[in-house]
């Protein structure tokens, strides 16, 4: 946090969290530190953290869960209305039929997941959604090149176009919508029923932009020209991760011409937001070195996209002869113990989480033993969690002793 920077501390904190969400460091459902903890770690006033969290909540990036804290908000989901009542009935019928056939919950979920993946294998049209001026065409070309070997059509779809009647009709013809993580809520409102096909897109800076920033001297003063005031903080937060910034940057939005003139006059190098480049076309080239702040999909997004588009050769495992359907033919204790992690024994001593082979008439019961837990399978966060529990217990003990000593 830069206490002498051009932005308030609450806006710097909000921008830092936004950049963590954009980069994929904070995924959907990830918990955020408590207000008191984050304020203590960063030496900030609690009201500053509350203000930043509240702004993120208003933007739809995080949500507050009563008595639990703040969490990164996932994709906006459409509420189920009366039109889904018939679908709910079909699901209930399928569940009852699965029960009658003796399928376990894990087998039913396996079948449902396989059917969902089978439906996505035919996805051959992708819409890259974003703001019209935010390097949308460059992102479309980048994604098209990444999936060129899969025979996929990639088309750009702007928010401005979605707000028109023609754009809404055109949007209904796509199988997947690649949307930046911070813009999924807006895309869900515009796409309506098609929002279930949204695929969040994590972004990274274009390699040329990173090289330009890293090549600047440590004492260089950067100037930032953003397309809107809300983007200034994000750009400074991203710049801070690549450069020491020994000299505080000077920032302005394109809506303030005088501030833009000041940035160009005082900065040694200028970073131009992708939404501001069209407004600066008349002033190009600038008298100082400059680069456009362009984001492209990162590697994890491209891997997820290719996995959704690549046909899967592995089909549902065939039922074992004389065994439960949906499981491999081998039912030996060694193979099952090696492929299943964890287990749970009920009062009868049978591990219900490990698939047990069905017995034939007159055949003795053969139980597959429960696999043993190893120290490597424990959660990496267990020591930290136990440390927090220990500290909380000591605090409660100290509080109880004080209450007994001073009634």
Distance CA 103, CA 184 (A): 37
The pLDDT value given to residue 394: 56
Q: Over the chain, what is the mean pLDDT?
A: 75
pLDDT at residue 231 in the model: 86
**How far apart (Å, rounded) are the C-alpha atoms in residues 368 and 336?**
7
Helix (H) or strand (E) holding 93: helix 85-100
Q: What does the pLDDT read at residue 129?
A: 92
Helix, coil or strand: residue 336: helix
* 8 A C-beta contact, residue 260 and residue 252: yes
The confidence band for 381, taking pLDDT boundaries of 50, 70 and 90, is very low
18 alpha-carbon distance from chain centroid: 11
Q: Which of 46-50, 81-85, 148-152 has the highest mean pLDDT?
A: 46-50
Q: Where are the beta strands (DSSP E) in 66-132?
A: 69-72, 125-130
The pLDDT confidence band at residue 392, using thresholds 50, 70 and 90, is low
- Kindly report the length of the chain: 407
* pTM > 0.85: yes or no: no
Q: What is the pLDDT of residues 301-313, one digit of tens each?
A: 999 888 888 754 4
Res. 118: pLDDT tops 60: no
Please say if the pLDDT value at position 119 is more than 70. Answer: no
**pLDDT band at residue 406 using 50, 70 and 90 as cut-offs:** very low
More confident residue, 355 or 110: 110
**Integer Cα distance of 143 and 176 in angstroms:** 13
Q: Which one has a higher pLDDT value, 110 or 190? A: 190
Distance (Å, rounded) from C-alpha 21 to C-alpha 404? 47
At residue 224, the pLDDT reads 94
Candidate from 267-271, 347-351, 365-369 with smallest mean pLDDT: 347-351
- pLDDT in the model for residue 259: 92
- How far apart CA 121 and CA 298 sit, in angstroms, is 22
Residue from 206, 248, 257 nearest 223 by CA: 248
User: In the structure, what pLDDT confidence band is assigned to residue 25 with cuts at 50, 70 and 90?
Assistant: confident
pLDDT of residue 178: 92
**Whole-number Å distance between alpha carbons of 213 and 242:** 7
Q: DSSP letter for 293, please.
A: E
């Amino acid at each position: 946090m830069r206490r002498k920077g051009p932005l308030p501390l609450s806006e710097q904190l909000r921008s830092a969290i936004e950049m963590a969400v954009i980069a994929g460091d904070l995924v959907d459902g990830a918990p955020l530190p408590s207000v008191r903890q984050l304020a203590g770690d960063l030496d900030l006033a609690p009201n500053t953290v509350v203000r930043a969290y509240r702004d993120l909540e208003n933007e739809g990036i995080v949500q507050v869960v009563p008595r639990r804290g703040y969490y990164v908000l996932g994709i906006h989901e459409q509420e189920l209305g009366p039109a889904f009542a018939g679908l709910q009935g079909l699901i209930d019928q399928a569940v009852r039929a699965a029960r009658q056939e003796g399928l376990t919950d894990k087998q039913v979920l396996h079948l449902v997941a396989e059917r969902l993946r089978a439906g996505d294998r035919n996805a051959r049209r992708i819409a890259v959604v974003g703001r019209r001026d935010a390097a949308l065409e460059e992102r479309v070309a980048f994604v098209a090149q990444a999936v060129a070997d899969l025979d996929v059509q990639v088309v750009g779809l702007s928010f401005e176009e979605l707000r028109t009647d023609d754009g809404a009709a055109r949007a209904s013809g796509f199988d997947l919508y690649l949307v930046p993580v911070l813009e999924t809520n807006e895309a869900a409102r515009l796409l309506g029923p098609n929002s279930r096909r949204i695929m969040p897109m994590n972004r990274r800076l274009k390699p040329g932009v990173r090289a330009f920033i890293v090549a600047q001297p440590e004492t260089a003063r950067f100037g930032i020209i953003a397309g809107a005031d809300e983007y200034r903080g994000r750009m400074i937060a991203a710049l801070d991760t690549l450069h020491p910034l020994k000299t505080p940057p000077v920032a302005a939005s394109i809506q303030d011409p005088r501030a833009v003139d000041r940035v160009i006059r005082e900065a040694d190098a200028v970073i131009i937001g992708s939404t501001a480049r069209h407004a600066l076309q008349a002033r190009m080239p600038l008298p100082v070195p400059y680069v456009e702040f362009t984001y492209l999909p990162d590697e994890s997004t491209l891997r997820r996209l290719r996995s959704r588009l690549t046909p899967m050769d592995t089909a549902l495992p065939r039922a074992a002869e004389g065994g439960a359907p949906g499981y491999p033919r081998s039912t030996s204790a060694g193979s099952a113990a090696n492929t299943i992690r964890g287990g749970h024994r009920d009062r009868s001593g049978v591990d219900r989480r490990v698939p047990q082979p069905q017995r034939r008439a007159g055949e003795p019961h053969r139980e597959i033993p429960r696999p043993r837990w190893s120290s490597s399978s424990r959660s990496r966060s267990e020591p930290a969690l136990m440390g927090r529990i220990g500290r909380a217990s000591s605090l409660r003990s100290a509080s109880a002793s004080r209450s007994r000593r001073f009634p």
